[in-house]
Amino acid sequence: MQKKNKIYEGKAKILYQTDDPNLLIQYFKDDATAFDATKRGTIKEKGVCNNQISTKLFEYLESRLIPTHFMKMLSQREMLVKNVEIIPVEVTIRNIVAGGMSKLLGLEEGIKLKQAVLEYHYKNDSLHDPLINDYHILALEIATERELKIIADLSFKINGLLLEFFSQRGIDLVDFKLEFGREKGSKQNIILADEISPDTCRLWEKNTGRKLDKDRFRRDLGQIEETYQEVAKLILS
């Protein structure tokens, strides 16, 4: 597969065209950002860890009939993915109170929720990814009612699968972010895109609550590189 022009560069990844218009190469960077990119840094080998972790989790979800953009790993930092039109809504699933939910509602971190909470955030850094609801999405024609139902159903199913996967490895899945897109050449096909990694998930060690994710960078907790490598080993085992 021939790598061609760079078509997009985000905070953590770069997308390149290939000789097939329906396929892209996704490259994982070591760059780290937090608080809408107001905090920036580098986490050594983060891109390698996140590519490995995302590959394993996409393969696991695909085996459980979750449609994703993942095709195959190409190198330590690259994977081949389907070309999708990203729906500009980030989906957050919360199992335990932390982060934004704690701040928004004035709740103590660590409260286990009686049921998973689904949130939609409008994907716009300059607006700080504001919380929106179904009515905003439908009124602004960001997605259709049918697409929203597919996204919600897939998100809850992914949550159930990942809760079990991480639990088996001694990790609590606190919350995580998902992105979905419309597969190019098949406008009716909504699939999971982006990545699943310690950049996009809050992961706590069972029983101790030790943070195993990007909060170590956000909150200056130290041992950032070591923690990403630890999670990669746990997930790949």
Q: What is the pLDDT of residues 20-79, one digit of tens each?
A: 999 999 999 999 988 877 789 999 999 999 999 999 999 999 999 999 999 999 999 999
- Between CA 87 and CA 144 the distance in angstroms is 11
Domain boundary residue among 84, 102, 135? Answer: 84
| Most distant pair of Cα atoms in the chain: their distance | 50
| Residue that finishes a domain, picked among 84, 107, 137 | 84
One DSSP character per residue, 113-132 reads EEEEEEEEEE--GGGT--EE
- Determine the structural domain holding residue 206 and report its residue range: 85-223
Rounded to two decimals, the pTM is: 0.95
DSSP codes, 201-215:
EEEEETTT--B-STH
Residues 112 and 160 in one domain: yes
- 95 and 67 in a single domain? The answer is no
Residue in this structure with the two tokens 């950002």, named with its chain if needed:
33
Is residue 119 pLDDT above 60, yes or no?
A: yes
CATH number assigned to the domain comprising residue 215: 3.30.470.20
Burial class from Cβ neighbours inside 10 Å (0-12, 13-18, 19+) for residue 194 reads: buried
